[in-house]
Structure 1
Amino acid sequence: MSEETPSVSLDMLATRLGKAEDELLVALEKRTMAAKYLRDALEGDGNPLSMAIITSLERMALQGQTGNLDELLLRWAVEFQMVMADVGLERVFVTGSEPLRIFDQARSIFGHRVPMSFEKDPRDTLTFCLEQPSTAGVLGWMTQAGSGQWWPALNESRYHDLRIIGGWPVIGGEAPLAAIVSKGPLTRTTTGHSVLMAHDDQHRLKRIFSDLELETSEFARARSLVLFKLSVSLSETDPRLTSARSAGLDGLRVVGTLPDWTEASHGQTGASA
């Protein structure tokens, strides 16, 4: 009798665990379906993969402002991979001046289910993302200088279909270390910030957008070219962009969307007036 008791107890525990696992799978399936409904409502005419990544990162950034960060990261490792499987992400290309570090960032974002490859030249990553369907790229954050400064390539006409669709990490008060790139177009989001690029020879960026009642925050400059974000999310055809071009910002266009980060270290607000 006493010899059977541990066996019975173990069976009961195993049964209880199995039931919990079944309930977890049901909950994840419900969550995946609810996420799809939300994506469909927000996607509009945007690229499905890019909009799925954007909406996931925006939701994580919003929850990270008030939620338990350890719990949120644990959920992200499961929930985001299910979203990527649902939208059909097939491959991730990675480029950075510190290969091990940037590859680790890419795995932190996309997990281990999706195949990844490291490309030494950032143009290769951009080209693969442009030419191969259902792919994304992970590159160094845009404020990096020197050989890590890849973003000016987006000004070339061949890369005009690519968009910056996120950064990592997005919670915990850390400045992002990696940028995520995939194909556009993008639609306006409720909490994001549009990323734009323009030629600003006369350093009139802040003044021009101030006249349009929009606040700017610069990431980087390369000669006359400037990469910056706005205080709001705009559609790629917003008439205020036409006004800004007429005011002297040649080549102005939307090149991405980022989540609502509150940390000042992620950009220099109103820089280079």
Structure 2
Amino acid sequence: MRAEIDRLDDELLGVLEKRVSIVSDIAAAKKDDGRSLAFRPGREAQVLRRILETHSSDLPGAVIARIWREMISAVCRLQKPHRVSVTAPEKSVGYWDLARSHFGSATPMSLHVSPTVVLREVSTDPATLGVLPWMNAEKDSWWVHLAQGGETVPKILAALPFSPNQGGAFEDLNALVIGQSQPEPSGNDTSLMVLVTSEEVSRARLNDIIGKADLPGHCIDSRSPEVEEGDWLHLFEMPEFVSDDDERLSRLMALAGEGAIKVVILGAYAVPLSEA
């Protein structure tokens, strides 16, 4: 039996090396595709969902997910190197572990108390991904920066943790991953959007407008302007993938009336397995 285990180890290593070789061929084929990162959270979510639905061993799903996450992260960096900047205002070890579990043991990471530092690093370096706390939208304000929109303003790309791990010490922590890439659908997604208005609008009115525009979801936060002549920002959560060119956004602007200034898609993320 031990000899059989040795044989299987060799077989596993051979299959892994073959997989890495194919990834290297893919990297060479898309070397000039213009993407700043090889990070494909939508594709990764699809792979993990399929693997966890298929596996039938006695190993816990969390262990299977961790093995595949480590492999996916490693081969992703082989295509295009990247680093991760983590915000941890509280329970620093928990947020660090959350990011390390998702991005693998060898991914370069840095830890910062302020989300402003993470936002700056991601905005100035296309090869940096940011991890920002998302425990309660009412207490978070970094999304206001994303609402500016623009070429170098990051997008929301993923949510952590994607796969549950009951052995973790900080299961209550949640975070979002941002980067200078376009989000992609995974088949089961949540999108975040901001409607900018020149005046205050009630939450009931906002929910009525989004419903009439045939967009799912609801308003989860509104921010008053910091200066007298500033704008109001209204954050919406939508249980499907919504892209920047979705025709329903034009309908939303029309229904919002003259006070509507713009609508900004902050990004989207694959619904975590625990929620699905």
Task: State the TM-score, normalizing by the size of structure 1.
Answer: 0.73
Range with bigger deviation, 177-186 or 78-87: 78-87
Question: Paired residue for 2:217?
Answer: 216
Unaligned regions of 5+ residues in structure 1, if any? 1-11, 40-44, 267-273
Residues 207, 219 of structure 2: 8 Å contact kept: no
Structure 1 residue 19 displacement after superposition:
3.3
Partner residue of 1:247 out of 227, 241, 255: 255
Unaligned regions of 5+ residues in structure 2, if any? 28-32, 166-170, 225-231
Question: Paired residue for 1:227?
Answer: 235
Question: Paired residue for 1:85?
Answer: 77
1:27 aligned partner, one-letter code: V
Partner residue of 2:44 out of 56, 62, 68: 56
Change (3 A) 1:144 1:231: closer
Structure 1 residue 181 displacement after superposition:
0.8
Output aligned runs, 1:33-72, within 5 Å.
47=35, 49=37, 52-60=40-48, 69-72=61-64
Residues 161, 184 of structure 1: 8 Å contact kept: no
Output aligned runs, 1:97-246, within 5 Å.
97-98=89-90, 99-141=92-134, 143-146=136-139, 148-157=140-149, 161-172=153-164, 177-199=174-196, 201-202=200-201, 203=203, 204-223=205-224, 224-246=232-254
Structure 1 residue 245 displacement after superposition:
1.6
Residues 47, 185 of structure 1: 8 Å contact kept: no
3-state DSSP of counterpart to 1:247: helix
Structure 1 residue 256 displacement after superposition:
0.9
3-state DSSP of counterpart to 2:126: coil
Distance in 1 between residues matched to 2:100 and 2:194, nearest whole Å: 28
Distance in 2 between residues matched to 1:205 and 1:62, nearest whole Å: 37
1:22 aligned partner, one-letter code: D
Residues 163, 184 of structure 1: 8 Å contact kept: yes
Task: State the TM-score, normalizing by the size of structure 2.
Answer: 0.73
Change (3 A) 1:214 1:136: same
Cα shift readout 1:16-74 (whole Å, capped 9, x = no counterpart): 555323321232345557789999xxxxx994637512321354356657865234333
Cα shift readout 1:166-223 (whole Å, capped 9, x = no counterpart): 1111233976611111113334553323221223632333222222333114443333
Change (3 A) 1:17 1:69: closer
Question: Paired residue for 1:4?
Answer: none
The CA RMSD over aligned residues, in Å, is 3.6
1:253 aligned partner, one-letter code: V
Distance in 1 between residues matched to 2:222 and 2:50, nearest whole Å: 29
3-state DSSP of counterpart to 1:112: coil
Cα shift readout 1:222-256 (whole Å, capped 9, x = no counterpart): 33323223232122211111211222253212111
Change (3 A) 1:237 1:106: same
Select the structure of larger CA radius of gyration: 1
Structure 1 residue 163 displacement after superposition:
0.6
Task: Looking at secondary structure, tell me which structure has more helix per residue.
Answer: 1
Distance in 2 between residues matched to 1:46 and 1:217, nearest whole Å: 35
Identity %: 23
Distance in 2 between residues matched to 1:88 and 1:252, nearest whole Å: 32
Question: Paired residue for 2:229?
Answer: none
Residues 35, 83 of structure 1: 8 Å contact kept: yes
